[in-house]
Structure 1
Amino acid sequence: MVLSEQTMLRGWRALAFAGHYSRVEALTDDGLNKVLRYHAVGSGFYDNIDPERLRRDVEYLDAHYELVDLPEVLESSEQKRIALTFDDGYRDFYRNVVPILREYEVPATVFVIADAVEDRSYSHTEQFDCEYMTREELDELVDEELVTVGNHTRSHPRLGELPHEDLEDEIAGAQRRLGSLLDTEIRRFCYPYGSFGERAVELVGETHDFGVFGRGRREPITQSTDPAAIPRINGANPFWEVRWDLSDTATAVGMTLDRFV
């Protein structure tokens, strides 16, 4: 029997609720590292959360885990490591997120769509009239020691559905454009919608140091994780669910369920 994605999501959320409030999540904690993904923070766009919610998240995470830059989650450590990432390059990252990063001295990666930097009328979705960071704001962030700017493709397509001949422009072409516009090396990549195929991952591995995706995947991040395909969990979910997803218990349960679904 093949279950729909929505059915699996509802089932996982019910399991997360039971696991968190029964404290089963705390039974094991071997230090499996995780990456959190966020989108909008205070702008009302996709997966929006309030800035105060993000501040509470960061305060909790900083007190219970080691908050690190993205590459460091691939290294072993005595304490569980968490890295923060933000997709789409919304202007609220500059206005609302960066002050919180500075307040707690926490690093983060923000993934930018190349077309949005040059075309102020651009929007990658019809659902929202998105406001993206300007080139001037991105120039400032390039010099911000806590922030790393990454590549989120040229136009935010589903890479898993693109012909192979279009992947170079969306991945490597966008990397070159962003690097030229911002006068910096762009070495990190994020797959839009969590969609990719084998060739996309190969191309990211050839052109970038790290690639991340996020569609609820629960596999652990270890030193053997492919740097071009690092899984993430959704930080914009209710925080009880985030705490469950961060736990090693959730990872173990999720990996077991994935064998049968």
Structure 2
Amino acid sequence: MPAWQADILMYHSISDAPGPTSIAPEVFKAQMQALAASGLPVVTPDALANPPAPRVVIISFDDGFEDFADTAWPILRDHNFTPIVYLPSGRMGRSDSWAGGHVPPRPLMGWDKVAALAEEGVCFGAHSISHPDLTTLDPEALEDEITGPGQDITARLDQPIRHFAPPYGASNPDIRARVARNYDTSVGTRLGVAKAGDDMHDLPRLEMFYFTDIARWKAHLAGRGGPYLAARKLMRNVRAAIRGKPW
């Protein structure tokens, strides 16, 4: 396979809410303007089977927050960027009131809005049914949480769902094997740039909260972000070791 790399950007909410899973709308707009100016091709995970360039960018969103439709999508659409949004299918129309969710909870899109976005070209992936830590589930519940969302979303949108993201990035070899039987790719929360030869069901992403400094983001896009990314990865690995979990 030819060498390639993919910067898979990870977003959650585009809002002024506090915390690392929210990016202010003006910051997001500036990040997308810088990406457009870079000239790097923006693709969906479908393109990883045959990338159109040696370096590509994928814009991903977890959870399907309502502000994706109201705030993020108009900005993306202006740049002709097609993102992928990973949906917890049993939570749509509700909120992120799961373990570790935001306080106060933030609303998720309803299915009518999801269907309208699909008609406009937004790509959707699966993010479990109920947003649990998959590593804590018994085999039957785990199988349901992996296979169920793809079936749910396909039934709603009448399109195949080929991509998955485990909640919290929580995964292990058994989970990845089960995901691989149902989806073409899976992304987590492991920090890094995806490259040819990586496990397609354990792809790293770039947490965009680390790139709210637009000068730093432009440096990364220009290929000068290696030292900063290495420092961030080291800090995350130290925190993970303290927690005793790799996510």
| TM bracket (short chain) | 0.7 to 0.9
Instruction: Indicate how the Cα distance of structure 1 residues 109 and 121 shifts in structure 2: closer, same or farther if over 3 A, else same.
Output: closer
Identity %: 26
Which SS does the other structure have where 1:215 is aligned? Answer: strand
Which residue pairs with 2:62 in the alignment? Answer: 87
Which residue pairs with 2:45 in the alignment? Answer: 70
2:15 pairs with one of 42, 49, 58: 42
Q: Which amino acid aligns with 1:249?
A: G
2:133 pairs with one of 153, 158, 173: 158
1:146-188 C-alpha deviation (Å, 9 max, x unpaired): x101111011111123233321110102221222233322211
Instruction: Indicate how the Cα distance of structure 1 residues 54 and 126 shifts in structure 2: closer, same or farther if over 3 A, else same.
Output: closer
2:152 pairs with one of 174, 177, 197: 177
Which SS does the other structure have where 1:84 is aligned? Answer: strand
Gaps of 5+ in 1: 1-29
Q: Which amino acid aligns with 1:48?
A: S
Which SS does the other structure have where 2:17 is aligned? Answer: coil
More displaced stretch, 194-203 vs 58-67: 58-67
Instruction: Indicate how the Cα distance of structure 1 residues 82 and 73 shifts in structure 2: closer, same or farther if over 3 A, else same.
Output: farther
Aligned residue pairs total 226
Deviation at 1:133, TM superposition (A): 0.5
Tell whether the 8 Å contact from 2:128 to 2:145 is kept in structure 1 after alignment. yes
Asked if 1:209 is matched to 2:184, the reply is: yes
Deviation at 1:130, TM superposition (A): 2.1
Which residue pairs with 2:76 in the alignment? Answer: 101
More strand by share: 2
- Counterpart Cα distance in 2 of 1:133 and 1:190: 18
Deviation at 1:80, TM superposition (A): 2.6
Deviation at 1:222, TM superposition (A): 2.3
More displaced stretch, 176-185 vs 225-234: 176-185
**RMSD of Structure 2 on Structure 1 (CA):** 2.9
1:120-146 C-alpha deviation (Å, 9 max, x unpaired): 36732363322010111011112122x
Instruction: Indicate how the Cα distance of structure 1 residues 122 and 223 shifts in structure 2: closer, same or farther if over 3 A, else same.
Output: closer
Larger radius of gyration: 1
Q: Which amino acid aligns with 1:91?
A: E
Gaps of 5+ in 2: 242-247
Q: Which amino acid aligns with 2:55?
A: K
Q: Which amino acid aligns with 1:62?
A: A
Tell whether the 8 Å contact from 1:114 to 1:152 is kept in structure 2 after alignment. yes
Asked if 1:192 is matched to 2:172, the reply is: no
